[in-house]
Amino acid sequence: MLRIISLAICLFTVGPAFAQAQSSDYTEDYQQEALEIFRDIIAMRTAAGHGKVPEMAEYLAQRFRDAGFDEEDIHVIPMVVSDGEEVASLVVRFRGNGLANKKPILLLAHMDVVDAIRSDWVREPYTLIEEDGYFFGRGTSDNKTGIAMLTATFARLQREGFTPTRDLIIAFTGDEETTMENIQSLVTEYRHLVDAEFVLNSDAGGGYRDHNHDPVSYLMQAAEKTYVDFELTIRNPGGHSSRPRADNAIYELATVLKNIEQYRFPSRINEVTEGYFREMAPLIGGELGEAMGEYARNPGDPEAQAVLENHPSEVGNTRTTCIATMLRAGHAENALPQSATATINCRMFPGVPAADVEAQLFRAAANPALEIKMTYPANEGPMSPLREDVTATVAEAAKTHYGDVPLIPEMSKGATDSQYTRMAGMPSYGVSGLFMRPEDMFAHGLNERVPVDSFFTALDYWYQVLTELGSE
């Protein structure tokens, strides 16, 4: 999953015109290997319902064997997930010499994609097509670049005779876009294969470019909000609509919803959002930038809260949000409603228990007859504390390859496999090597693409990150 950038960040710098890079400009063996892997895996329709994930896991396992990894360090783990799909995960261990005396680093990517329908796309979605300086194809950004980067970099390091000072472990999952059961089984049943000090996920974070393709900032994901749904129901004895009663399920639910609309969850801040607002403030500037800076200093400031409240991309960084998304009520045009139900979707701030959110909703609703039911259970993951080793290495690698860009921590509103590694006690960081313009982001959508130059630059970025962290 890739995040959607706030509108403000892309509005400010002006730079030289974008020189279109072609893949033929990149002739090193490791670059060609990454491209070959990329082309092969884009051709595999690893969307739910097509059963191609095990084939992709097997293909990649062979790549690791060819690069010289021992059979005992390569694990293809088949799994039938709850929607009946046969998927697989792949775990590969790059053995270190133990000199660092530290637990391994776990590297994540997912092999599955959201399906693409040929007739809706301009080009073949399951063929890697290079055009106008971009690679087009389903999964190019989400998340097959990550798979290609990590596979090609492990192969390159193995061939170069690199020995890390601690084990580096790759885990590729096969159902991140649907059931997320692979990662859950890896951190429980197969914990011995993936246990790590921390996790680097290629499926989140990454750099931003402005409209002219100039790099602006690097966002490192260190927290995710928690998704949860509630159903709110008011019941009533009902009756004939020609004989209206004083109480009415629809009117009462409407009042409940208006009360909830007015309710604000308490504002919050953590290390990640504090860093986000502080670093973003000067980049954004203007009234919004000022509010961000003020909020970082004093999250209780009502004026800063009010400004951020009016920016849909930022309000979620300040607190838990809950919003009505669906409604159903009544059973006939000429009958008093026997029930009225609304769905409320919440994105909880890390560390806020779902039971607290439920209790606050109930209080805000101010109707003791209201029934509340949690219909999508929450996975309450913590935020990951910012670690100097990770932030310094990622910031340095981003600077080396993309120029003087600040590293900004971020909390994403969506969810990746990292929510489960965080819940399993492994701090996790989204550190994709791609730098993209907001208008080039089509993850899950039509005509998904990545810039050719960023694909190859990300390859060097990952090499630097892994050799750096693998040499400490």
Q: Which residues pair with 160 in a beta bridge?
A: none
Least CB distance to Zn ion at residue 203 (A)? 4
Burial of 158 (0-12, 13-18, 19+ CB in 10 A): middle
Nearest residue to 387 (alpha-carbon basis) of 434, 431, 435: 431
Q: Do the Cβ atoms of 259 and 361 come closer than 8 Å?
A: no
Pairing relationship of beta strands 105-110 and 168-173 according to DSSP bridges: parallel
Least CB distance to Zn ion at residue 48 (A)? 13
Q: How many CA atoms lie within 13 A of 362 on its CB side?
A: 13
| Residue number with CB closer to Zn ion (182 or 248) | 182
| Residue number with CB closer to Zn ion (178 or 273) | 178
| Residue number with CB closer to Zn ion (426 or 441) | 441
Least CB distance to Zn ion at residue 142 (A)? 4
- Binding map of Zn ion across residues 1-40, x = CB under 5 A, - = no contact: x---------------------------------------
| Residue number with CB closer to Zn ion (203 or 460) | 203
Q: Where are the alpha helices (DSSP H) in 239-325?
A: 249-262, 271-284, 286-297, 302-309, 312-315
Angstrom distance (rounded) from CA 197 to CA 195 = 7
Least CB distance to Zn ion at residue 180 (A)? 11
417 is an interface residue for Zn ion by CB under 5 A: no
Nearest residue to 206 (alpha-carbon basis) of 2, 23, 418, 466: 2
- Binding map of Zn ion across residues 116-155, x = CB under 5 A, - = no contact: --------------------------xx------------
203 is an interface residue for Zn ion by CB under 5 A: yes
- Binding map of Zn ion across residues 419-438, x = CB under 5 A, - = no contact: --------------------
| Residue number with CB closer to Zn ion (142 or 175) | 142
| Residue number with CB closer to Zn ion (28 or 83) | 83
Least CB distance to Zn ion at residue 141 (A)? 8
Count of C-beta atoms within a 10 Å radius of residue 454: 30
**Which of the ranges 121-129, 196-204, 223-231, 345-353 carries the binding residues for Zn ion, by CB under 5 A?**
196-204
How many residues would you count in the chain? 472
- The residue with tokens 């509103």 is 413
| Residue number with CB closer to Zn ion (182 or 270) | 182
**Which of the ranges 22-30, 96-104, 203-211, 313-321 carries the binding residues for Zn ion, by CB under 5 A?**
203-211
Least CB distance to Zn ion at residue 204 (A)? 8
| Residue number with CB closer to Zn ion (143 or 248) | 143
Number of residues lying near Zn ion (CB under 5 A): 4
Number of alpha helices (DSSP H) and beta strands (DSSP E) in the chain = 14, 19
Nearest residue to 80 (alpha-carbon basis) of 188, 174, 190, 194: 174
Q: Which residues, 6+ apart, have CB-to-CB distance to 286 below 8 Å?
A: none
Residues 224-243 that bind Zn ion (CB under 5 A): none
Least CB distance to Zn ion at residue 182 (A)? 13
Q: Which residues, 6+ apart, have CB-to-CB distance to 45 below 8 Å?
A: 52, 113, 115, 126, 138
358 is an interface residue for Zn ion by CB under 5 A: no
| Residue number with CB closer to Zn ion (130 or 142) | 142
- The residue with tokens 């989140």 is 204
> What is the torsion angle, in degrees rounded to the nearest 10, for the CA atoms of residue 281, residue 285, residue 287 and residue 290?
30
- Interacting residues toward Zn ion by CB under 5 A: 1, 142-143, 203
